[in-house]
């Protein structure tokens, strides 16, 4: 089974809302295929030769910033917690003691410790779009960065521009720009089904669907056509199918990532296959109780997965063109609560980790207060992370505008200055 989300199917956050947000669109019956609920957009024409890519990793639940990448060893015990900082291979860049492998690669990532503008929402919406869900909700809402990249940049070598295993947020761009979501099955042709036969069956389906499409005013039929075409492209090309199948990866590489890090490995393989944006959730960070018990289990897994990904990208020469962003929806309370030493939601400040993208790494940007309550040096708005991601994809947020369904131009973000220390 192919899945890039590490969360259990039945997992819920503290608000009781299920995070399984997979859209059911329909089905396609061509050569035994059933993909329509998984697929997104047909590639646009006129694609440039450059393949800039983004891996956007959402740590579902809101990771504790002061127990991971912004430790406060000099704070009082009710704030600092159980973990000690360790130095990375970059002087001054200290991280949690449960990140020994990442500590060997401090020169391959940067930490932003002063993010503000966090949104009180247990969702991956604002780590994909940069906005509150209410923003432009009357016309479909804000599109995710993956949907924007698909719209503006199109496909590379026939691969879907956007593969997402978390929420689907095409916003006002419409259903055609939803992410491609492979969730299982053998995505290759059977021995009895040739590419020509598949194309013939697909052509017949399109002819039949044309009758329905003539009466369709919602745009859903166009989206379904795009999904159908993309399913055919994936199956006939084999590149994305091969990327999703980890049996095609060297066993030594698989062992390095471990089973817990397969999402990270599959994301790298998808980028190699031509995908521009890969987004996935890696859950288990909603630690209202037993914060330190949970983190002792979570942090070593994240340590192995991220260190393997950063090292892998460098060894393969992908670090200049592939940006990695690791963050959650918000931070957690400075003061440890009385609920078995937990930490609750905190919107005053949060952190993120960035790597690759040709950025100037091995540094810390910004500083939070003594008890990790708020930014006190170099505040970075949440949307400036997006401005940086867009910049690395080759999209200038200071000038780029999209036309919404009401005919109005919309900037991609409101805070349009990238993090200048990194670019």
Q: In the prediction, which pLDDT does 168 show?
A: 83
Query: If DSSP states are collapsed to H, E and C, what string results for 143-166?
Result: CCHHHHHHHHHCCECCECCEEECC
Measuring CA to CA, which residue among 368, 364, 358, 362 is closest to residue 388? 358
The SS3 of residue 53 is: strand
Banded model confidence at residue 319, pLDDT cuts 50, 70, 90: very high
The pTM for the full model equals 0.82
Among 14-23, 89-98, 320-329, 412-421, the minimum mean pLDDT is found in 14-23
Q: In the prediction, which pLDDT does 182 show?
A: 77
Q: In the prediction, which pLDDT does 232 show?
A: 58
Query: CB–CB of 95/77 below 8 Å?
Result: no
Q: In the prediction, which pLDDT does 337 show?
A: 98
Q: In the prediction, which pLDDT does 158 show?
A: 83
Q: In the prediction, which pLDDT does 190 show?
A: 42
Question: Which structural domains are found in the chain, ordered by start?
Answer: 53-411 (3.40.720)
Query: If DSSP states are collapsed to H, E and C, what string results for 89-147?
Result: CCCCCEEECCCHHHHCCHHHEEEEEEEECCCCCCCCHHHHCCCCCCCCHHHCCCCCHHH
Question: Higher confidence at residue 16 or residue 49?
Answer: 16
Q: In whole angstroms, give the CA distance from residue 74 to residue 185.
A: 52
From residue 365, give the alpha-carbon distance in Å to each of 112, 306, 342, 361, 378. Answer: 5, 19, 27, 10, 7
Q: In whole angstroms, give the CA distance from residue 114 to residue 419.
A: 12
Q: What average pLDDT does this structure show over 165-174?
A: 92
CB-based burial label for 281 (10 Å; 0-12, 13-18, 19+)? buried
Give 47-101 pLDDT, tens digit per residue. 334 599 999 999 999 999 999 999 999 999 999 999 999 999 999 999 999 999 9
Give 176-201 pLDDT, tens digit per residue. 999 988 765 444 444 444 545 545 55
In DSSP terms, 109 is beta-bridged to: 355
């Amino acid at each position: 089974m192919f899945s890039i989300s590490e969360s259990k199917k039945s997992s819920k956050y503290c608000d009781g809302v299920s995070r399984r947000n997979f859209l059911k669109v329909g089905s396609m019956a061509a050569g035994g295929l059933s993909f329509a609920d998984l697929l997104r957009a047909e590639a646009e024409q006129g694609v440039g030769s450059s393949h800039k890519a983004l891996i956007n990793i959402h740590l579902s639940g809101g990771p504790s910033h002061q127990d991971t990448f912004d430790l406060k060893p000099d704070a009082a015990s009710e704030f600092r917690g159980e973990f000690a900082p360790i130095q990375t291979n970059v002087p001054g860049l200290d991280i949690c003691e449960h990140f020994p492998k990442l500590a060997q690669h401090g020169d391959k990532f940067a930490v932003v410790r002063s993010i503000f503008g966090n949104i009180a929402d247990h969702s991956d919406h604002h780590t994909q779009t940069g906005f509150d869900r209410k923003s432009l909700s009357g016309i479909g809402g804000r599109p995710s960065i993956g949907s924007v990249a698909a719209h503006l940049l199109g496909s590379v070598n026939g691969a879907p521009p956007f593969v997402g295993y978390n929420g689907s947020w095409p916003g006002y761009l419409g259903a055609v720009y939803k992410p491609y979501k492979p969730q299982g099955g053998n995505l290759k042709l059977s021995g009895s089904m040739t590419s020509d036969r598949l194309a013939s069956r697909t052509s017949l389906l399109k002819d039949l669907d044309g009758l329905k499409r003539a009466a369709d005013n919602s745009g859903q039929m166009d989206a379904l056509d795009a999904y159908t075409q993309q399913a055919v492209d994936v199956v006939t090309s084999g590149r994305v199918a091969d990327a999703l199948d980890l049996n095609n990866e060297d066993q030594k590489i698989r062992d390095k990532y471990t089973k817990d890090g397969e999402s990270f490995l599959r994301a790298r393989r998808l980028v190699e296959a031509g995908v521009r944006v890969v987004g996935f959730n890696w859950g288990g960070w909603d630690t209202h109780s037993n914060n330190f018990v949970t983190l002792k289990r979570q942090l070593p897994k994240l340590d192995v997965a991220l260190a393997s990904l950063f090292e892998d990208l460098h060894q393969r020469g992908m670090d200049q063109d592939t940006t990695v962003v690791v963050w959650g929806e918000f931070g957690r309370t400075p003061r440890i609560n009385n609920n078995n030493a937990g930490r609750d939601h905190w919107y005053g400040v949060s952190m993120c980790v960035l790597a690759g993208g040709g950025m100037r790494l091995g540094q810390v940007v910004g500083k939070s207060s003594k008890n990790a309550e708020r930014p006190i040096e170099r505040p970075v708005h949440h949307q400036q992370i997006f401005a940086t991601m867009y910049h690395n994809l080759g999209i200038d947020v200071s000038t780029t505008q999209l036309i919404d369904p009401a005919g109005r131009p919309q900037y991609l973000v409101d805070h349009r200055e990238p993090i200048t220390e990194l670019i």
